Amino acid sequence: MSLPRLLPLSKAAQALGIPEEDLRTQIEAGKILAGVLPDGEIVVSMSNGSNSTRHIPKEELPAYKKHAHLQEVEIGIGEAAREYNLNQPTISKWVKAGYIRVIGHEGQKVLIDKADVAYCAEIYHGRGGRGKWLFNTDGTPYIPKSD
């Protein structure tokens, strides 16, 4: 039997990159499984259950929504690397993994979605960047077990 991983509300909000108030709203709406400990502390399920935080699409996360105005704006990988202070191979890996959508091509230049790049860059820079696991397979922020 696998028990769900529970995090205090503040740590869960931090791990997801959303304000506590937004997380509370999701809990109250029944979109996220949570509980209350005897001391009154709210804990959030971080497991892969059917009603956990893993099932909030990245597009619904505030960290993504604040870049939504950039959706469908094309940017080349090299330009994105310079603008968002990232390495080109890192962006290419994210494209290959599906975290960043390819919009088109201009000759050999790959044009990617600027909103996806901005979101990924924010998660990357917010977590301290290099050498860290950043995303789940669906593009949502990865929550380390040590949190």
Give the separation between CA 81 and CA 77, rounded to whole angstroms: 6
pLDDT at 1: 55
Mean pLDDT of the chain: 83
Q: Regarding predicted confidence, which is higher, 141 or 38?
A: 38
Per-residue pLDDT, 49: 44
Q: In this predicted structure, what is the pLDDT of residue 133?
A: 79
User: Which among 97, 87, 93, 81 is positioned nearest to 136, based on CA atoms?
Assistant: 97
Q: Where in the chain is the domain with CATH 1.10.10?
A: 6-56
Given a contact cutoff of 8 angstroms between Cβ atoms, the answer to whether 91 and 82 are in contact is: no
Where residue 59 falls among pLDDT bands split at 50, 70, 90? confident
Most confident region among 2-6, 7-11, 71-75, 137-141 by mean pLDDT = 71-75
CATH class of 57-147: mainly alpha
SS3 per residue for 19-77: CHHHHHHHHHCCCCCEEECCCCCEEEECCCCCCCHHHCCHHHCHHHHCCHHHCCCEEEH
pTM over 0.85: no
**Quick one: pLDDT band at residue 2, thresholds 50, 70, 90?**
low
Which of 75, 78, 141 shows the shortest CA–CA distance to 114?
75
Tokens of 6: 């529970």
pLDDT of 52 higher than 60: no
Rounded Cα distance, 81 and 147, in Å: 29
- Residue 72, pLDDT above cutoff 90: yes
6-56 architecture in CATH? Answer: Orthogonal Bundle (1.10)
Q: Is the pLDDT of residue 144 over 70?
A: no
Closest CA to 124 of 114, 115, 112, 133: 133
Where is average pLDDT lowest: 19-33, 70-84, 113-127?
19-33
Give the containing element (helix H, strand E) for 110: strand 109-113
Task: Give CATH 1.10.1660 domain extents, the chain.
Answer: 57-147
